[in-house]
Amino acid sequence: MDFPPFDLAWQQIYYQIWKSRGYFGVSPDRPKKFAIMMPPPNVTGRLHIGHALTMSLQDILARFKRMDGYSVLYQPGLDHAGIATQNVVEKQLLAQGMTKEQIGREGFIEKVWEWKEQCAHAIVDQLQSLGISCAWDRLRFTMDRGLERAVKLAFKTWFDRGLIVQDTYMINWCCKDGALADIEVEYEQELGKLYHLRYPLEQGGFVVVATTRPETLFGDVALMVNPKDGRYEHLIGQRAILPLKGHAIPIIADDYVDPSFGSGCVKVTPAHDPNDYEVGQRHQLKPLVVFDEKGIFNEEAGEFAHLDRLQARPLVVESLQKQGFVEKIEEYTHQVGKCYRCNSAIEPYISKQWFLKKEVAQGSIEKVKQGLSTFYPAHWRNNYNAWMENLRDWCISRQLWWGHRIPVFTCAQGHQFASVENPITCPTCGNAEFSQDHDVLDTWFSSALWAFSTLGWGQESAPEFREQDLQDFYPNSVLVTGFDILFFWVARMLLAGESLLGKLPFKHIYLHALVRDEHGNKMSKSKGNVIDPLEIIEREGSDSLRFALAMLCVQGRDLRLSKDTITQARHFTHKLYNASLFLAKNLGEVGGDLAHTPSTPTTMLGRYAQSRLNATTKEVRTALEQYRFNDVATLLYRFLWGEFCDWFVEFSKGYKQSGDAPLVFGELVSILKQGLQLLHPLMPYSTEYLYQTLSGTSLEQSPSIMLSAYPKDTQQDLELEACFDAIKEAIIVLRRIKILLNTPITQAFVQSKIPLDSQALHLIAKLSKIASVQMVSQKPAQSLSDVGELVSVHVDLSGIDVSALIKRLQAQLDKLAKEKAKLNLDNPHFLAKAPKELLESLQARLATITHKEEEIQRELDLLQA
């Protein structure tokens, strides 16, 4: 029979019960507060495995804190994702033979909202399938009316402080998506060409200039050399003739030029290169724009006007070659900036945009340095500090239709002002005619406010405003997200929270690594190695996925997710399922009652199990508080499978016929329920089902495990634990001897450093299936002995012929020696010529043979002692 929690329909029933009973909501009467914000998924499609990791880790913390008595706000949300979502809907329109321009701005926005509703519903369903226990009654969208007001208030606040300005800068420009911030540009190494072009000199001769972008020469306003480069010292102040255009441009000197690059002489194109732009500023060179926002050449390009700049490149090169301006063309590997959304090549472009000045971040930089927000792992604090110290003004305007429209208005008299509400008159002159800026804000602008806009900041007049939320939940307790959006999102939330509320928005910041495939490769559709979390949930259950992700989540390391890891998690739940059924069945058979199990164990086994539970509880709590999710999963796996199922359940069989049987089985039921409470945040469905099974109840009629208290760590009984360590060692040694001798054993003797009473000896005999086990002070005559750390075990060899066994083991050693010789690994000539792959395979085989030899030799040593 399969484990019910693996069935998706069954999970949905449990989830709806939890949700309908209000278990996920805030408990305002609890004095301890815990707030965690969901990084809002983009309304662009299905959730991926990275979402599954982030949300699983967050949910582990939220469930743990609820059970530990906190009022928990786990804030859910969705992001409008300006560029990405607009691209999705534009592609849908194109598939229908339409463009956004054909249906107009209002019609297009209506289409995007339709897509948002469809996508949002799917994302919420997916999150619920994963068992995410967020406060769904507080679900927010970054373009909600209330959050829209917060965005406008933040903009106006910074605008009025002079921290938001409109200016003409050189920015990163995508000819498809418009303006981009620096961190939205992804650099890829590409094999291109380096063109060595001849620029004629006005006084005769020519100078060679190397460039990767020959088509931009129409915007050249100068040539430039290093003032210390003796090759060109005589040319400084002279003029060169611009190929294809024929007019003269000056030759200037600047330390920026690297004499070792190309010919040591470079072209200066201030309108289309960021470094040239700065050079132009220093030398008062007027930029010459030669193509527009779509990358189409203007009249400055002569015969190439109206062509796309990339399509024009080969035509320009052909024309240069025909007129003798090309010295040579060679292959050249260089970094090319690409749009992070559409992968188009980025153009440096001079444009009038809105900028949030870097000074806004100064307070957050100082407070992070003071340790007012703690990073996990700690090294991310250094990465953050280094990036923030080189911060540039943030270009916040985007040439889109979908998003928060910039709340700046210009009246008929030319007065410009920001307003939260739709203005009636100009605050300067009273004019009632004005226009609003057409651009929208960068998506990350609204996301930067997420830690407090969701708590009602700036929305005091809204009907859903809760005055206490900001006081209770700001700063947030912890942020859990991927390290890849540290600068996109985390840094911006830090500067926004500190600047607008005076406090950093998070006490702790946990940044997890990326999920890769089992070989360490980044997942991609082209490689065919993408793992769909929803497919795993439907096939294996969400608990298997959640536990596997937690088990792999070591701080600072990428996760290598494989089917084997998920299968291991599934087997773990099955092991707990079988153990629970075994205990429930046996408790009933010995006259016990699941509804009345002892809360405080009194039997030897019960007290030992409780002591080990206490030790595990302490370690798990510490690991959870330090966000060591891998340790949490490993500790629980080791205790529940390695100790409880493998040992405690086995020990219980030795009590089946004793008078203590009802107590022993009842105590183990009680302790397993506490273990399930520890495990619940990681595996909510399985633990709920098993907790109800061991309580003799069902969730439909009974309180959830979610309402039970998370176990507290109490004192261990180290003396009793040492006793059971000796018992287990004796059992393991006796089982090993029985396998070696391959004959029935009726009598065994034990010497122990730890006192063992008759009950302990009974357990040793029962689990090693030997009729009698006795304590002795010295080794009996004619006995086979095996010495461990705590116990020495002796088996009487009277009547047992071990000579045949010794002969068989020696034959096995001889066979392994011959096999080792055939590997030829002691032949230096072979080692020098053999392929690396063959040597690695032979070395692995040698290691296996050596391990077998050591095991056999140990057995021989025992028999010959």
pLDDT tens for residues 17-26?
999 999 999 9
Residue 117: the pLDDT is 92
Handedness of CA 515, 521, 526, 532 (dihedral sign): negative
Find how far residue 645's CA is from the centre of its chain. Answer: 32
pLDDT, average across residues 61-85: 95
pLDDT, average across residues 601-627: 97
Using the predicted structure, report yes or no on whether residue 746 has a pLDDT greater than 60: yes
- Between 106 and 826, the more confident residue is 106
CATH of domain 562-716: 1.10.730.10
Using the predicted structure, report yes or no on whether residue 784 has a pLDDT greater than 60: yes
Residue 713 pLDDT level (bands cut at 50, 70, 90): confident
Using the predicted structure, report yes or no on whether residue 525 has a pLDDT greater than 60: no
Contacts of 5 (CB under 8 A, 6+ apart): 11, 14, 541, 543, 573, 685, 686, 688, 689
What is the per-residue pLDDT across 747-778, written as a single tens digit (0 to 9) for each? Answer: 889 989 999 998 999 999 999 899 889 999 88
pLDDT, average across residues 107-126: 91
Residue 349: the pLDDT is 84
Residue 180 pLDDT level (bands cut at 50, 70, 90): confident
Using the predicted structure, report yes or no on whether residue 438 has a pLDDT greater than 50: yes
- Between 615 and 805, the more confident residue is 615
pLDDT, average across residues 79-96: 87
Q: Say how far apart CA 441 and CA 403 lie, in whole Å.
A: 7
Residue 835: the pLDDT is 83
What is the per-residue pLDDT across 200-240, written as a single tens digit (0 to 9) for each? Answer: 999 999 999 999 999 999 999 999 999 999 999 999 999 99
One-character DSSP codes across 348-367: EEEEEEEEE-GGGGHHHHHH
What is the per-residue pLDDT across 356-385, written as a single tens digit (0 to 9) for each? Answer: 999 999 999 999 999 999 999 999 999 999
Residue 269 pLDDT level (bands cut at 50, 70, 90): very high
133-137, 734-738, 784-788 — most confident range: 133-137
Q: Say how far apart CA 503 and CA 505 lie, in whole Å.
A: 6
Of 342-351, 497-506, 755-764, 808-817, least confident by mean pLDDT is 808-817
Task: Please give the annotated binding residues for ATP, written as ranges.
Answer: 525
Residue 185 pLDDT level (bands cut at 50, 70, 90): confident
pLDDT, average across residues 723-738: 90
Task: Please give the annotated binding residues, written as ranges.
Answer: 525
Superfamily for domain range 178-347: Valyl/Leucyl/Isoleucyl-tRNA synthetase, editing domain (3.90.740.10)
Contacts of 433 (CB under 8 A, 6+ apart): 411, 412
Given the structure tokens 């095996």, which residue do they identify?
Answer: 786
Given the structure tokens 């985007």, which residue do they identify?
Answer: 398
As a three-state string, the secondary structure of 656-679 is CCCCCHHHHHHHHHHHHHHHHHHH
Residue 776 near residue 750, CB atoms below 8 Å: yes
Of 346-360, 458-472, 569-583, least confident by mean pLDDT is 458-472
Residue 520: the pLDDT is 77
Find how far residue 251's CA is from the centre of its chain. Answer: 51
One-character DSSP codes across 435-464: EE---EE-HHHHHTTHHHHTTTTT-TTSTT
Share of the chain above pLDDT 90, in %: 61
Using the predicted structure, report yes or no on whether residue 1 has a pLDDT greater than 90: no
Q: Say how far apart CA 822 and CA 820 lie, in whole Å.
A: 5
Residue 161: the pLDDT is 97
Using the predicted structure, report yes or no on whether residue 661 has a pLDDT greater than 60: yes
Residue 523: the pLDDT is 66
Residue 466 near residue 496, CB atoms below 8 Å: no
Using the predicted structure, report yes or no on whether residue 691 has a pLDDT greater than 60: yes
Residue 341: the pLDDT is 67
- Share the mean pLDDT of the chain: 90
